[in-house]
Amino acid sequence: MNTVELIKKKRDGKSLTSDEIKYLISSYTKKKIPDYQFSAFLMAAFLKGMNKKETAALTEAMLYSGKIINLNSIPGSKIDKHSTGGVGDKTSLILAPIVAAAGVNVPMISGRGLGHSGGTLDKLESIPGFRTNLSLTKYKQVIKSCGAVLAGQTKDVAPADKLIYSLRDVTATIESIPLITASIMSKKLAEGIDGLVLDVKTGSGAFMKKTSDAVELANSLIKTAKTFNKKVIAFITDMNQPLGKYVGNWLEVYESIMVLRGEQKDDLFELSTLLSGAMIYLGGKASSIKEGVEISKQLIKNGKAFNKFLEIVKLQNGNISIIKHPEKYPKSKVIEYIYADKSGYINSMDNYQIGMSALELGAGRKTKEDKIEPKAGLIFKYKIGDRVKKGDVLVELRGESENTIESVKQSLNKAILISNKKTAKPTLIKKILK
């Protein structure tokens, strides 16, 4: 096949055959197509789109660029969840133990923080000793022992995705529904799952700012999952403010512990039990999502979910005494506060700015080489719709440097708007799609 002719075909808005897509991906992965040709193809695909069949072929080509993990030796359903990312989104830490406690396997491969959005691996690694970099043997051992595993992507899984993602990042070809779909699905399908629950975020702290874009992405993911005979449910959920009240790596582990112990029943609790309920349903251990949610709540109440979390942490080398006594975790060097400058209602939050502020404090990376400060982050005392009085603490900032915390305070101050008018709380679950 002729690479230039294939670029031309996509450039002219025609559909590529599965074989043509396979040729492009496999040749690029083998470095037989140079970056400059593949980036021209990516831009053509970005601007001209790809239909359902092309997206499935792209997913398949990327999936088969690496190994598919075989979990056949492990009995029972294997269900995972994928979130498109946001601020304070720590549901993976909560639902993996719940779902495993309900008897459904959760083989979860997660990523690191990206820009304003946090990453599950960075959160887990704030637990002293916790290892996310597991061999395939260890990965299978953990899931066999306790029904869940929380690990990082190995180089064997969808290597084409890593290569293509790096190129997309520097060629302005990230925000493309078919390219995002193939990137997500190739990795998730490589886990050897039976079903997938999708949490597609929308709002100021999400990659998809508009709900219509989030729905389009969700539908593309659902279609592709179905092409591969996977059970799938997608939720469109709100990301106009942080999920829960804690943003930052250890802070989010801490909040997850509180939810798993049944000590916090807010939006984070609601979303986590909804997602775990859907996973339990897809895994065949509940007859409906609703029943799955009830089971989830029960598993929190009776302590089984928290015990499962301790089990996972222990199997992945984490220190379980700090999980039992999270108040003993080291404290940040500098703690500062933002106060309400007037009384009223929290009207809106610039959630992207909140994510970037947490990153500035040390919770994220500006370059790949940056080291994460696990203690750093933000604690929100109020959320949208809450009534506040002048002088109330709105946010607690935790960092390691006075200068940084001062500059973050400045920019974060402008990110929270107080209004005299009563403001409705945003709807957390906007849509359910199957």
Beta bridge partners of 418: 346
134-168 b/e with 16+ CB inside 10 Å = b? beeebbbebbeebbbbbbbbbeebbbbbbbbbebb
* Residue 370: active-site member: no
Q: Which of 80, 161, 238, 267 is catalytic?
A: 161
Q: Which is nearer to its own copies, 107 or 178 (CB)?
A: 178
User: Distance (Å, rounded) from C-alpha 215 to C-alpha 279?
Assistant: 20
Least distance in angstroms from the C-beta of 9 to its own copies: 9
Q: Which is nearer to its own copies, 19 or 169 (CB)?
A: 169
The pair of three-digit structure tokens given for residue 158, joined into one six-digit string: 């969808």
Q: Which is nearer to its own copies, 77 or 173 (CB)?
A: 173
* Residue 168: active-site member: yes
Q: What residues contact 322, with CB distance under 8 A and at least 6 apart?
A: 127, 128, 328, 329
User: Distance (Å, rounded) from C-alpha 321 to C-alpha 391?
Assistant: 37
Q: Which is nearer to its own copies, 40 or 428 (CB)?
A: 40
Least distance in angstroms from the C-beta of 404 to its own copies: 23
* Residue 325: active-site member: no
* Residue 82: active-site member: yes
Q: What residues contact 356, with CB distance under 8 A and at least 6 apart?
A: 115, 116, 411
* Residue 266: active-site member: no
CA-atom Rg of the chain in angstroms: 22
Least distance in angstroms from the C-beta of 22 to its own copies: 19
**Sites of contact with its own copies (CB under 8 A):** 3-5, 7-8, 11, 34-40, 42-44, 46-48, 167, 170-173
Give me the phi and psi of 168, to 5 degrees please: -60, -40
Q: Which of 187, 188, 285, 398 is catalytic?
A: 187
Q: Which of 82, 162, 230, 308 is catalytic?
A: 82
Beta bridge partners of 320: none
Least distance in angstroms from the C-beta of 23 to its own copies: 15
Q: Which is nearer to its own copies, 35 or 291 (CB)?
A: 35
Is 313 within 8 Å of 260 (Cβ atoms)? no
Least distance in angstroms from the C-beta of 178 to its own copies: 15
Q: Which of 77, 126, 183, 332 is catalytic?
A: 183
The residues annotated with a catalytic role in the active site are: 82, 161, 168, 183, 187
